[in-house]
Amino acid sequence: MTHHSISRRALTAALATGVLAGPLVAAAPASAAAAAPKVVCTSAKPGLAAKLTKDITASLRGKPKRLAVAVEDPATKTRCAYNGDAQFDSASVIKATVLGTLLWDAGKHKRQLTSWEKNRAWDMITWSDNDSTSSLWKRLGSSKVKAFTKAAGMTRTVPNAGKTWGISQITANDQQKLLGVFTQRNKLLSDKDRTYALGLMNKVVDWQRWGTPAGAPKGTKIQVKNGWMARSWDTRWYVHSIGAFTGGGRTYTMTVLTYGTSGEKSGANAIQGIARVIHKDLNPAMKPRAAFVPPARPHEVVPPGV
């Protein structure tokens, strides 16, 4: 896992709960002269970039200091990014990349997924099963995951070379590239494979459909994958959400990555506050879906001592 040794029992418990032991993998400290990150938006739709910039900036107040946001709406050629190249421990969001790797690798060998692979992909995405993810990670190997991210242009994503996929490094900008592979025609995945991937993300269990879907318009088809994790020695949480939203003849995507909240629920609420303003600005004439409140425990109870 790292240069620190941990017992097999501790590693098994960590994977089972999403709580991973080991030193924090942090981005290099910024120099004193480095400017603080700012929200940067561009759009072909008059006034939209300025509105998104203002509203996203306002939504960041009171949120974790370690945070990244990225948005893309191809229909209006709209893009936004805040701290988009900052690296975060991936937690379970890496599972969407594992799915992309699985489909890409099968396509390269001109074969269909086996029943075993489909069953594990279903469990990995729809209810974020860690054991299924570990099985696929072992089958593929981190080298294939790395090859897929390179092919997808995810230049700042670093798959963990060991078994502990949850401490792979991801960025908001790279997660947007992954969502682009799933939502737009490309040379990496066939249309059938893209439909399959989005179909799994559309079937995520209700109690994991928090985060970026908050504030999406009524009738929108939601495709989401979330991640949440704390190290055994750290009281602060990584809580992430990526989503693709389809309706009205268009699909747009959103990524919010966070570190520093006291738990999963506070992290989910932070993400949702940002997501609501983005959905509202992209869909000003549409009513949002009913509010979704994350459950008090959107994850398993952490065993003592892990």
CA-to-CA distance for 162 and 44, rounded, in angstroms? 43
pLDDT at 9: 36
| Residue 221 and residue 250 in contact, taking contact as beta carbons nearer than 8 Å | no
Which residues in the chain come in under a pLDDT of 70?
1-34, 290-306
Give the three-state DSSP class for 159: coil
pLDDT at 30: 44
pLDDT at 59: 98
pLDDT at 293: 55
Please say whether the dihedral angle defined by the alpha carbons of residues 58, 60, 65 and 69, taken in this order, is positive or negative: negative
pLDDT at 17: 35
Alpha helices (H) along 152-190: 172-183
Please say whether the dihedral angle defined by the alpha carbons of residues 213, 54, 183 and 187, taken in this order, is positive or negative: negative
pLDDT at 186: 98
- List, in order, residues 6 or more apart from 52 with CB less than 8 Å away: 39, 41, 43, 71, 78, 80, 278, 281, 282
pLDDT at 288: 79
For the chain, what is the mean pLDDT? 87
- List, in order, residues 6 or more apart from 183 with CB less than 8 Å away: 194, 198, 244, 251, 253
Query: Nearest-5° angle of CA 208, CA 23, CA 2?
Result: 95
